[in-house]
Amino acid sequence: MMANICHTFSTNAPKAKIMAALDTLEGLQGWWTETTTGDPAKGGTINFRFGENGGFDMVVKENHDGFVLWEVTEGPDDWVGTQLEFKIIDDDGQNRLMFRHIGWADEAGFFHHCSTKWATFVLSMRDLVETGTGRPFPNDLKIEATGM
């Protein structure tokens, strides 16, 4: 059985602002990592780098109104082949972001680390769309004693 990481938040920020956080380089640099490059359009590849910690390359499988899906093509073995899904749904007049990191082989230690880090980055996205300022790497909330 595959494991998934799931997180969510609800916001008054407009759907277009949330989409811009997901489908523009400036948006992605504002909440996940400042060293994001590539092409966030459907069919493009986005490169996310985290300094000495390495990074990920992801192909954009879907990118349309309220829905973004990436597939990891390069990165740690645990990530390659997994998918990242961002869905924006109407939540009684607010916008709710539903995030899933789909297809983990198991819930080993790295899964737990990534689940917690995803929580910090998903909330960084919320801060970006609500205030204009997120906490992307290298200024992200650290959860490990080694500084990651």
What is the model's pTM?
Answer: 0.96
- At residue 66, the pLDDT reads 97
Helix (H), strand (E), coil (C) string for 91-146: ECCEEEEEEEEEEECCCCHHHHHHHHHHHHHHHHHHHHHHHCCCCCECCCCCCCCC
> Where does the pLDDT of residue 115 fall: very low under 50, low under 70, confident under 90, or very high at 90 and above?
very high
> Where does the pLDDT of residue 107 fall: very low under 50, low under 70, confident under 90, or very high at 90 and above?
very high
> Where does the pLDDT of residue 138 fall: very low under 50, low under 70, confident under 90, or very high at 90 and above?
very high
Domain-embedded: residue 148: no
Tokens coding 22: 């997901």
Q: Mean pLDDT throughout 93-118?
A: 96
Domain-embedded: residue 146: no
In order, the DSSP letters of 39-82 are --STT-EEEEE-GGG-EEEEEEEEEETTEEEEEEEES-TTTTT-
Q: How far apart are CA 116 and CA 108, in angstroms?
A: 13
1 pLDDT higher than 80? no
pLDDT in tens, 54-92: 999 999 999 999 999 999 999 999 999 999 999 999 999
Domain-embedded: residue 62: yes
pLDDT in tens, 5-48: 999 999 999 999 999 999 999 999 999 999 999 999 999 999 99
Q: How many domains does the chain have?
A: 1
Residue 103 maps to which CATH number? 3.30.530.20
- At residue 147, the pLDDT reads 78
Name the residue range of residue 47's domain. Answer: 3-131
Domain-embedded: residue 56: yes
Domain-embedded: residue 31: yes
DSSP 147: -
Domain-embedded: residue 122: yes
Domain-embedded: residue 121: yes
- At residue 91, the pLDDT reads 92
Domain-embedded: residue 86: yes
Q: How far apart are CA 62 and CA 16, in angstroms?
A: 16
- At residue 24, the pLDDT reads 98
